[in-house]
A and B are shown apart, each in its own frame.
Chain A
């Protein structure tokens, strides 16, 4: 596209009083195509926007640079279709955060001896915007040749069935596959279930049969029982799925990755690539490569994973103080449910009526923890099972609940209250010290109870509230034919629950187009699982729609760009394939990456990883950012006696950029020698930009992004962590240039910590000042 530029500066909101907008415009080269320059006192007014629209219409302007407020405000006003748009943040990042001193007046002429920091900053930012616009192009959406709108649902329990019904309601066809011979899952194995509607205070009969009937009679839903996934190949909108019977061995079984213990030699050294490939081939003998598509495979557009959970199996002696394993009448909650489903509650040891049952919520022994894989659902199930005892023996049945935590969130508090009201249900916080056989019955001892002392309770049976292990703990289930492996990458934070940052991005897994719902995501009740199913279904539909439009699904919903590879220069180093947080890239035998654009979330981690810098996006590239870095004027001793420093800040646009805006809106002040460049994710920061900055004389580089670690907030899971690793690796390069590694630093902040930002910047500034100016200045 032939670019025809339009430059607009708003002098409202205090911009015109603090900086000379005419001088900023003077930096625009006055050649062909650069002539449309307008300063307006109220650009976001109708008149202001009309000027721009008129330029578009009459003068053919298609590349627009607006110097005004932050791009996070007025985005609905400054919206021009078919145009490249750059918003230069003169308000929040320049004039609001760097107040002119009291009584300052605008000078008539440029003072050559004294630097005017604010003016320089505004000019730098406007120039950066201009340069960026020169370098980027309008994105062309990626469209698939063939596309399927069908949804594959893995798991025919209550969650999967609900997902299929919801998809059908929205007009989408789906296939439910279930490994067992019939639908229903665990929901079909309970005597009663927890309430699913107001007033949420009584147990109800299982609703699973109604759901089974509903899915069986729905023409949009096809059901395949005794079926599992052999492999899912391809990408969202175009998955090729091979199904098989459980236990069957077929050519299109997904290849297994080389297990960690086989990746090293006897001495513990990493094996070489060739050797690894050899082992990979050997262990996957007879299986087709991931890139080979099954000609008989079924096409699906998106996948909803509802494979659920399995009961936790305590290891031998794991709970020996609770008598588990040694005493027959100490059982898990799932075993107890089976007894209850079967009829009256009787002891497993001798079939005698169990009229006194103790429910243990936490293993105790001084620890506050519940059993592994527990949650509110295990508390609720205990209350439910306590009620069974009372139902079966209403006169003299007694159910005791000892807990460390009784979790009944939301309206299920009503259920707790109702159960508490039963005269035969007794609850106390307590630390169970032992369960022992005492003649014909059991003796349970607990300390630190609400009764203020250690207590003993005689019981016929003891029930342990063990947890719900997601089936992904044992098996990848989805069996993805992805180079990164068949399962979801384990980031070591979620105990093998399908990874999902359930606060920010519920249902999303680390694999685009595959959405998780129900107990595979978290221990959930049936009611919560059904609600979850609806959420995941809507996500899957969003994915199909986005694929249709050639846009990213999430978190950069609507982004039409995608990574573009310049393959001639690829060295097959595989870094992009390995580092992509979403496994979007596969590679062929030689190691050349094979992009799968609809799997991609457009974070740019590959762009940051590529040592050859051959990965770029239409509006975000090595060159566009690099050019922005290079157009920042770095004053040297030739310009001033004491030239000001220049610090470059890469600002993650997910949290750090809006936080910076908030700091500006609150009129917080920070040092005037820093220049911000927004980036999609710190993971997309290529170290070449650091070199660019330092070699042109900038004095320091700062990364500001989202938190990583246990409570990571990185929108792309791994971005800030990778940035940290890459940053540490350039220290050597800096040393070879005789530069201190302290000149490059990284900070992580959450969006609500905007008040810390000015201090972070100013402190870093002081540290760099202490190091002294970059010796490369002026070269």
Chain B
């Protein structure tokens, strides 16, 4: 194999939190220590040398970096302080950027100085689209003085306006993922064949689809997380946040169907079971986010570090949950102006969640699931 190390790639991985990368001296303690690494061609030793040699394609187009759940057992036991856990996390961030489109947006998402711009984008889009719609469709789609006895958020920010923005946005996100996902699957398969990690010759999408339910079950049960030694406590907050998101996704879907199917508008009564689910999910999201925050703040940086992408995701989770719950509470407390303002902010965060999903750390939801599904399909145990 012709080696053409990419020095720029190494420097970038180092800047993404993998600055210990070159310390590796190939003792393979990490591969032995890892509780979830497969026996055949175990990670992360081979990823460590390939990364320290700047062999970008080998590590970025590689399912194994996604099988890692960043338990940190390897980093704790590494005799050289090379922190393979952090290096693999950095590689995943690099891979997210690599598969996302447009790349420019990806760079902005990973740059803390661009955060105000990213937040300003939805803020301004809402205003512009709202004004335009007010002018040409209905003057009350974005109404700054809804009035009325009851606080109804759709009187301020019309549901049509919400969907006008969010439905196309979701489609865009799906398209970006579809594009990246297809490329990703092909790449990791090629890599698996090259490195002898699979017995499958051709990539069979049907086979992958069949493996999917099994993997989803594993993910929901947090099986891999529970095998971790060093960082097992992460399992619970992750579960809270994941189930929170799932709950809210279900609630939103029900809203959508009820709105368009039965023409029933919110807000729902507090006694409605859907509302119960919404409230529980919102609280789970905030609780999970807070525990994650606490753990990240108190963690031993000699074992594991937190990067901007870690902080920004926790921030987003908390912002989403808190702004949503506060919107609801202020609504119930009949603080109209505050509630409408919070709703606007909440929508801004929801936009961020959707729009920046393929570029943020949250994209692991997609790539890790895909990689785990592929590995299930490829008999990589």
Chain A residues close to B by CB (< 8 Å): 395-398, 417, 420-424, 426, 428, 450-458
Contacts and interface: CB of A to CB of B under 8 A. Distances in A.
Interface string B46-71: 10011011100000000000000000
B98 interface: no
B14 A423 contact: yes
Nearest to A421: B22
A763 B25 CA distance: 51
B22 A456 contact: no
A136 to B, nearest CB: 60
B3 A457 contact: yes
B11 interface: yes
Nearest to A420: B22
B1 A453 contact: yes
B26 interface: yes
B39 interface: no
B7 A421 contact: no
B4 interface: yes
Nearest to B41: A452
A420 B4 CA distance: 18
12 contacts: A397-B7, A420-B22, A420-B25, A421-B22, A423-B10, A423-B11, A426-B52, A451-B1, A451-B53, A455-B1, A455-B2, A458-B2
B23 interface: yes
Interface string B1-24: 111110100110010000000110
A423 B23 CA distance: 10
Interface of B: 1-5, 7, 10-11, 14, 22-23, 25-26, 46, 49-50, 52-54
Contacts of B7: 395-398, 423-424
B84 to A, nearest CB: 15
Contacts of B14: 423
Residue of A420, A422, A451, A455 most packed against chain B (CB within 10 A): A451
Contact of A426 (B1, B5, B11): B5
A417 B2 CA distance: 26
Contact of B49 (A395, A423, A450, A458): A450
A456 B10 contact: no
Contacts of B49: 428, 450-451
Prevailing SS type, chain A contact patch: loop
A360 to B, nearest CB: 15
A451 B2 contact: no
A421 B1 contact: no
A417 B25 CA distance: 9
Contacts of B23: 417, 420-421
Contact of B22 (A423, A451, A458): A423
Contact of B53 (A395, A396, A397, A426): A426
Contacts of B26: 450
Contacts of A452: 46
The CB with the most chain A CB atoms within 10 A, among B10, B23, B53, is that of B53
A422 B52 CA distance: 10
Given A421-B22, A428-B49, A451-B1, 14 more contacts: A397-B7, A417-B23, A423-B7, A423-B11, A423-B14, A423-B22, A426-B54, A450-B26, A450-B49, A451-B49, A454-B1, A456-B3, A457-B3, A458-B4
A456 B3 CA distance: 6
A417 B24 CA distance: 10
A422 B22 contact: yes
Nearest to B25: A420
Nearest 9 Cβ contacts at the A-B interface:
A423-B10, A456-B2, A421-B22, A424-B7, A455-B3, A450-B26, A457-B3, A423-B11, A426-B53
A673 B26 CA distance: 60
Given A420-B22, A421-B22, A423-B10, A451 B4 contact: no
Contact of A398 (B5, B11, B46): B5
A458 B2 CA distance: 8
Contacts of A423: 7, 10-11, 14, 22, 54
Contacts of A421: 22-23
A453 B26 CA distance: 15
Q: Which of A421, A422, A458 has the most CB of B within 10 A?
A: A421
A314 B26 CA distance: 33
A279 to B, nearest CB: 60
B106 to A, nearest CB: 22
A393 B54 CA distance: 17
Contacts of B22: 420-423
A452 B46 CA distance: 9
Contacts of B54: 423, 426
Contacts of A396: 7
With most chain B CB atoms within 10 A of its CB, the pick from A423, A424, A426, A451 is: A423
Contacts of A417: 23
A225 B376 CA distance: 77
A202 to B, nearest CB: 16
Nearest to A453: B1
Contacts of A453: 1
B278 to A, nearest CB: 49
Contacts of A422: 22
A420 B196 CA distance: 29
Contacts of A397: 7
B30 to A, nearest CB: 14
Nearest to B50: A451
A398 to B, nearest CB: 6
Nearest to A397: B7
Nearest to B81: A417
Contacts of A451: 1, 3, 49-50, 53
Nearest to B24: A420
Contacts of B53: 426, 428, 451
Nearest to A416: B25
Contacts of A420: 22-23, 25
Nearest to A446: B3
A592 to B, nearest CB: 64
Contacts of A454: 1
Contacts of B50: 451
A492 to B, nearest CB: 38
Contacts of A455: 1-3
A421 B46 CA distance: 18
Contacts of A398: 5, 7
B192 to A, nearest CB: 15
- Best-surrounded residue of A424, A426, A455, A458 (most CB of chain B within 10 A): A426
A420 B22 CA distance: 6
Nearest to A424: B7
A451 B4 CA distance: 13
A23 B50 CA distance: 83
A288 B255 CA distance: 115
A451 B7 CA distance: 17
A424 B8 CA distance: 9
Nearest to B80: A417
A424 B50 CA distance: 13
A450 B46 CA distance: 9
A428 B1 CA distance: 14
A334 to B, nearest CB: 27
A452 B52 CA distance: 14
Contacts of A458: 2, 4
Pick the most buried of A397, A424, A458: most chain B CB atoms within 10 A of its CB.
Answer: A424
Contacts of B3: 426, 451, 455-457
B229 to A, nearest CB: 27
Contacts of B10: 423-424
Contacts of B2: 455-458
A426 B9 CA distance: 14
Nearest to A393: B7
B51 to A, nearest CB: 11
A21 B352 CA distance: 103
A451 B59 CA distance: 13
B91 to A, nearest CB: 15
B195 to A, nearest CB: 9
A91 B199 CA distance: 76
A629 B232 CA distance: 80
B225 to A, nearest CB: 30
A385 to B, nearest CB: 18
